[in-house]
């Protein structure tokens, strides 16, 4: 029989299981539920209260001195939570943790057609070409994929449904964030999910940060960032601005205005780590530091708020007297419930969490007349190493070259031809196809040009330098720069 140990917390919470890797541990069902609901509430507070600070503090940090969390009109859909929401709905409906990628495409087409930006906006158009995940998130195919913050802000749910299981959380997380990102961005996913999963069984921030560090590839920039920020915070315990300046000096690599700085996982991941350290276990202080560190501040406040929400629990957050209305108002998603609340969203998280615990070998049982979840805990570790972009491109070229040629020469319809042309451009097969099949290539290029939104993202919504590379190849392949149409605004 596996040994199970319990720990009575000084705060008075009864029978919270002590987490040790490889050990089956019990956590009372009411405490687990409190932590999951607290994590989600902390996430939405950080996200929505952080919107007014988003992209405001770039060259210099913010100066928010007073902050009282509040959602007087309830929560509403923002991309920090409303990408995960349709996934969660489908996971619950189908009783499936890892939705197959074609099914994820269907989820996007049915539910997510507006209120998206950057990598999500780009890859949503690729889906209309018949390109499914994870190809939509590969670096060679999506110019946002290697740095976009979606690796961080589409991650909280997977940690919340994987209590004490950081590797499981990371594995689920990268499955869903690979829809739009790759490389360093998926290292950020693993960092965030491991920290959230770990926070269910410890409030020791050093252990939580250790879990985040263990979850990323030792070769990654994210691993160096975690180590650097922790060191700078230790050296400047009473001067968070010094830590912010040191972070900016080392990791603001593109002048500050470039999207790789503003919307990238590096500075924002550093800001999230710094907020967790500087917040010193206090929810309000942590979220306020996330605002002040700046850059894409709402996302950093959401991630750090989720971790503190798990640690503190829903009952604690609700007891603070903050003005929070129990509503989750849909402003951006299609064919979704119109009566969602923060509570009902939490109900969904609980249902999927229970399914995930069982799938990982755990169970729900009764101990001394009390409902408990029995969880097989895990040590954090790097689930997916850092990808080599050139090797990945070569592998994709080998995998898709036959499909590309078939699509160009005998494509059954305009979409198949357009898909083949786009992949040929991205994977450097276009010159060969143009030379080998000039007439069919011309037809494929014409088909691709007919997808006006794809053309818009290629020529106007693809960041430097990867976007420029695709644009140059597109022009060489025979596409012409279209007139700009701001349909996404």
What is the end-to-end Cα distance of the chain in Å, rounded?
59
**DSSP codes, 55-119:** TT-SSS----------BTT-EE--TTTTTHHHHHHHHHHHT-SS--HHHHHHHHHHH-SSS--HH
What is the pTM assigned to this prediction?
Answer: 0.95
Residue 30 has a pLDDT of 98
| Whole-number pLDDT of residue 487 | 84
Please check whether residue 436 is in contact with residue 430, taking contact to mean a CB–CB distance below 8 angstroms: no
What integer pLDDT is reported at residue 6 of this predicted model? 39
The predicted model gives 43-52 an average pLDDT of 98
pLDDT at position 8 over 60: no
Q: Report residue 4's pLDDT band, with 50, 70 and 90 as the boundaries.
A: very low
- Look at residue 397 and tell me whether its pLDDT is greater than 90: yes
* Per-residue pLDDT tens over the stretch 65-124: 999 999 999 999 999 999 999 999 999 999 999 999 999 999 999 999 999 999 999 999
* pLDDT reported for residue 21: 52
Is cis: bond before 102, omega within 30 of 0? no
CA angle 20-22-28, nearest 5°? 60
Q: Residue 268 in contact with residue 149, Cβ under 8 Å?
A: yes
**Site of tokens 């596409």:** 479
Could you give the C-alpha distances from 51 to 271, 274, 335, 360, in angstroms and in order?
15, 19, 25, 36
Indicate whether 463 pLDDT > 50: yes
The pLDDT of residue 244 is 98
The mean of the pLDDT values for the chain is 95
Confidence (pLDDT) at 441:
98
Mean pLDDT of 244-248: 98
Q: Using alpha carbons, select from 392, 375, 32 the residue that is nearest to residue 200.
A: 32
Query: What's the average model confidence in pLDDT over 307-318?
Result: 98
pLDDT at residue 7 tops 50:
no
Please state the rounded mean pLDDT for residues 309-336: 98
Say if residues 433 and 448 touch (Cβ distance below 8 Å).
Answer: no
Enter the DSSP assignment of 337.
-
pLDDT of residue 182: 98
- Please determine, for residue 429, whether its predicted confidence score (pLDDT) is greater than 90: yes
Average pLDDT over residues 332-348: 97
Q: What is the mean pLDDT of residues 256-272?
A: 96
Is the predicted pLDDT of residue 255 greater than 50, yes or no? yes
**Strands 16-17 and 328-329, sheet pairing:** unpaired
| Per-residue model confidence (pLDDT) at position 12 | 34
- Tokens linked to 149: 């913050």
Tokens standing for residue 214 = 């263990």
C-alpha–C-alpha distance, residues 41 and 302, integer Å: 9
In the chain, % of residues over pLDDT 70: 95
* pLDDT over threshold 90, residue 258: yes
For the cut 80, the answer to whether the pLDDT of residue 23 exceeds it is yes
Among residues 22, 265, 305, the alpha carbon closest in space to that of 149 is found at: 265
**DSSP state letter for 27:** E
What is the per-residue pLDDT for 489?
Answer: 65
Confidence (pLDDT) at 486: 86
What pLDDT does residue 11 have? 32
């Amino acid at each position: 029989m596996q040994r199970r140990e319990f720990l009575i917390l000084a705060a008075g919470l009864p029978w919270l299981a002590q987490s040790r890797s490889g050990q089956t541990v019990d956590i009372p069902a009411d405490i687990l539920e409190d932590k999951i609901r607290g994590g989600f509430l902390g996430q939405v507070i950080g996200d929505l209260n952080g919107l007014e600070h988003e992209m405001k503090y770039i060259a210099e940090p913010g100066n928010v001195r007073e902050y009282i969390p509040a959602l007087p009109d309830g929560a509403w859909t923002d991309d920090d939570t409303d990408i995960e929401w349709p996934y969660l709905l489908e996971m619950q409906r189908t009783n499936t943790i890892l939705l197959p990628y074609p099914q994820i495409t269907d989820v996007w087409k049915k539910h997510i057609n507006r209120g998206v930006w950057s990598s999500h906006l780009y890859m949503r158009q690729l889906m209309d070409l018949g390109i499914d995940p994870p190809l939509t998130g590969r670096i060679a195919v999506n110019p946002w994929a290697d740095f976009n913050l979606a690796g961080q802000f589409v991650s909280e749910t997977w940690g919340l449904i994987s209590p004490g299981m950081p590797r499981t959380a990371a594995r689920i997380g990268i499955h869903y964030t690979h829809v739009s990102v790759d490389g360093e961005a998926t290292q950020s996913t693993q960092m965030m999910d491991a920290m959230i999963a770990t926070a269910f069984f410890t409030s020791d921030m050093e252990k939580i940060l250790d879990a985040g560090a263990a979850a990323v590839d030792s070769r990654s920039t994210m691993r160096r960032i975690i180590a650097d920020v922790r060191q700078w915070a230790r050296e400047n315990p009473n001067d968070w601005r010094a830590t912010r300046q040191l972070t900016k000096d080392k990791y603001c690599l593109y002048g500050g205005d470039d999207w790789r700085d503003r919307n990238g996982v590096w500075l924002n991941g550093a800001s999230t780590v710094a907020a967790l350290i500087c917040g010193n276990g206090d929810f309000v202080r942590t979220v306020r530091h996330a605002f002040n560190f700046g850059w894409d501040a709402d996302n950093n406040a959401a991630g750090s708020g989720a971790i503190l929400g798990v640690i503190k629990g829903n009952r604690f957050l609700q007891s603070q007297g903050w003005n929070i209305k129990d509503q989750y108002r849909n402003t951006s998603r299609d064919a979704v419930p119109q009566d969602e609340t923060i509570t009902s969203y939490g109900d969904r998280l609980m249902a999927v969490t229970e399914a995930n615990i069982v799938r990982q070998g755990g169970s729900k049982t009764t101990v001394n007349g009390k409902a408990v979840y029995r969880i097989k805990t895990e040590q954090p570790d790097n689930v997916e190493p850092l990808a080599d972009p050139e090797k990945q491109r070569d592998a994709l070229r080998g995998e898709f070259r036959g499909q590309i040629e078939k699509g160009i020469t005998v494509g059954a319809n305009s979409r198949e031809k357009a898909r083949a042309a786009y992949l040929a451009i991205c994977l450097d097969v276009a010159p060969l196809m143009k030379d080998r099949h000039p007439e069919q290539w011309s037809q494929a290029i014409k088909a691709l040009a007919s997808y006006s939104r794809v053309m818009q993202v290629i020529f106007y919504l693809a960041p430097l330098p990867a976007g420029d590379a695709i644009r140059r190849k597109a022009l060489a392949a025979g596409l012409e720069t279209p007139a700009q149409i701001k349909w996404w605004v």
